[in-house]
Every structure is written in C-alpha cells, then in structure tokens.
Chain A
C-alpha cells in the first residue's frame, strides 16, 4: 500500500482499540448486507483483499460457510492474525498483484482497503482478472463528498482510508474502466460518523487521536481540518464482472 515512511493509521493500536480487528466503520455490518445481496452458495470461493488480521476471513468461513482467503501487504497485521488464529488462510500480497489464477474467485471483498492501495486502477483490473464471469465485487470505503479537497487529502503524511478517499464519480469511472458493472451503491456515512464518535469518546478528542500521527510540519489540527473539509462519507458498492 502507500509508500514507506508514512504513518499507517490502519496499523495503529489507537484505531484498533475502537474498531477491533475489522479495522473499518461498522465492523461486519456491511459485510452482512453485501452477503445478503450477493447470495454466494456455501463453498463459494471468496477473497478478502486487505484482510489485515483476518477478522473478515474468519467471519466468512465460520459464519457463512464460504471458502475464504485473505491477502494483505502488511506483515504486522498478518502476524497479529496468525497469532490469533494460526489456521486462517492469510497470504502476504498486495491488491495490485494477486497470487491467484484467472477466474478463480466467486467473490472479492475490499472493505476500506481500495483507498489505501498504491494503484487502485491496477488493483481493480486484478480483481476483475481473478473473478469468474458473473462474480461479485464488494467494495466498502470512505469517499470524498467534496472532491475539491481530494488533492489536499493526498498531501497529508498519512496512509489511511480518509487520506486516500476518492469522489463517487472517480470511483465509478475506475470500476467501469476495469470491466465491472455497478449493481448497487448505498451511502452509509452514518457508520463513519459513529466510528468518529467512538474515537472521540475513547481518546478524549479528535485532536488527541490525530495527534498520534502528526509528524513533520503538519499538525493534528491541520489533519483534522483537511479531512473535515473533504466531507468524508462511507459507501457500499456491489459490482458484477461483465461477460
């Protein structure tokens, strides 16, 4: 994911204390919503891209009888997952270079991870390659409701789903260019607001939370204000691979 030397918010204990190992707004709420929409049969092969410590992989195997695999480029998060559940099928790989054959998966989940990938365009093309024709792509992520502030987000010295957020239009264009047809888009910004509220209640204030990541000339207040100006929202998108 994003270049070395930047703070990776998703690896921090300060975030995991609030989200648990799912490391995203809403936990498994939107995973369940997507599963209901996709109706994968038991035994279907699904891939969680950016699986972190494997919480979703474990959830898909244990609670939905799916043959789930996870990939993540973070050795830190994968090690956490292996310590918790050594039997989980977790592999070190990036979304842009998936170690799977063409058409191997019935479904791909990228939950709050596309926005932290170095090259989302390339990752989406990889997702399309690895999916079967008719397979389903599930993306949940942060999006910028004020696209004018996306360049300012990119300049922040952090790697997080907030700083990598795209506009809805940009994301839809990328999805279409990669060979997918969008089946569903839903706004779930309330989940992001609730996560923000939990961060405040846990850390005392947003300044205190962002202060853990402030580095160089960028203050925690500047991080907070830049993020706020972009009006971050949260979405669920389900897309199908065209034949």
Chain B
C-alpha cells in the first residue's frame, strides 16, 4: 500500500524524497514498518537535516540506509513540523 507523504513546500531536506510503501510487518508491528520502494529495504531511524526559512535542524527520521530516501509521514507533516513552521513564521 502506498503511503501519502505530505511536505509543505518550504521545507528542504538534504535527502531525496521518493515513493515509499508501507509493508505489512508480521511480527514487528505493521503500523510503524516501512520499506523503501526503490531498494526494498526496511527504513530505519537516521539523522537528517531539515531546513525551513533559512534555519536548519538535525532530526531523526526514517530513512533508507542504502539510497538515503527519507519518509515524512502525514502525522509528522501535520504535527510537529507544522508547529515548527508556524513558530519560525511568527518570529
């Protein structure tokens, strides 16, 4: 099943965002397991630098250890990343 990735236009990531698919994990908890659509490897937490309005932040996001693909889930995009956007816009 393909997941929808939402990312507001202002954010920049140093890794390339491509399609990912959510896979049905059998014993690892299906809701939180993603694999890279291109490489077929499970995505793992890794350091990523995200930028918005000239400010950069190191964060830990799910990424593919082979191709560097980064996943931003809908929950993340509409949750704390949106709150960060508003904070920086209100500066």
Contact = CB atoms under 8 A, between A and B. Distances in A.
B87 interface: yes
Interface residues of A, number: 13
Interface string B66-91: 00000000000001100110011011
A62 B91 CA distance: 34
A193 B83 contact: no
Interface stretch (A46-54, A113-121, A133-141, A200-208): A200-208
Contacts of A196: 87
A198 B49 CA distance: 12
B59 A189 contact: no
Nearest to B50: A201
- Chain B interface residue bracket vs A: 10 to 19
Given A190-B55, A194-B55, A197-B55, A204 B80 contact: yes
Contacts of B83: 200, 205-206
A204 to B, nearest CB: 6
Contacts of A204: 79-80
B54 to A, nearest CB: 8
Interface string A56-94: 000000000000000000000000000000000000000
A56 B17 CA distance: 39
Nearest to B85: A197
B55 A201 contact: no
B91 A193 contact: yes
Contact of A190 (B57, B79, B91): B91
12 contacts: A193-B55, A193-B88, A193-B90, A193-B91, A194-B88, A196-B87, A197-B57, A200-B83, A200-B84, A201-B80, A201-B84, A228-B90
Given A193-B91, A196-B87, 4 more contacts: A200-B84, A200-B87, A206-B87, A228-B90
Interface of A: 189-190, 193-194, 196-198, 200-201, 204-206, 228
Which 8 interchain pairs have the tightest Cβ spacing? A193-B91, A197-B84, A194-B55, A196-B87, A200-B83, A200-B80, A200-B84, A201-B59
